[in-house]
Amino acid sequence: AQSVTQLGSHVSVSEGALVLLRCNYSSSVPPYLFWYVQYPNQGLQLLLKYTTGATLVKGINGFEAEFKKSETSFHLTKPSAHMSDAAEYFCAVSSAANDYKLSFGAGTTVTVRA
């Protein structure tokens, strides 16, 4: 079984401030981890992924995430928020043992204050 917990359903940051979105996962087998972003009235866009290898992964739009096996975490960060980062962010886990189906967290809505 696999699952994801995202801490904080809503995060508000000032423009230029650090964005930190927390994700913890549960998986009985080596996980593949993903962050997706959803802008209003749009589909899910892949931000970044961890499969194997380097534990710090970089994605689009200046985001990065670090896989920490000991903490079962995959937190998403961006050093300096931009107004265009306002969206909903979903952490997800999959594995080969589960036919690669994605299990999503509940999502975190980010608002950016000018």
Q: State the number of binding residues for another protein (CB under 8 A).
A: 23
Q: CB-based burial of residue 33 (10 Å sphere; 0-12 exposed, 13-18 middle, 19+ buried)?
A: buried
Residue 25 makes CB contacts below 8 A (sequence gap 6+) with 2, 3, 4, 5, 31, 33, 72, 73, 74, 91, 93
Q: Which of 7, 17, 107, 109 binds another protein (CB under 8 A)?
A: 107
Q: Which of 12, 14, 26, 51 binds another protein (CB under 8 A)?
A: 51
Residue (65 or 81) nearer to another protein, CB: 65
Q: Which of 1, 40, 43, 54 binds another protein (CB under 8 A)?
A: 43
Enumerate the β-bridge partners of residue 21. Answer: 76
Q: What part of residues 74-103 is at the interface with another protein (CB under 8 A)?
A: 90, 92, 96, 98-103
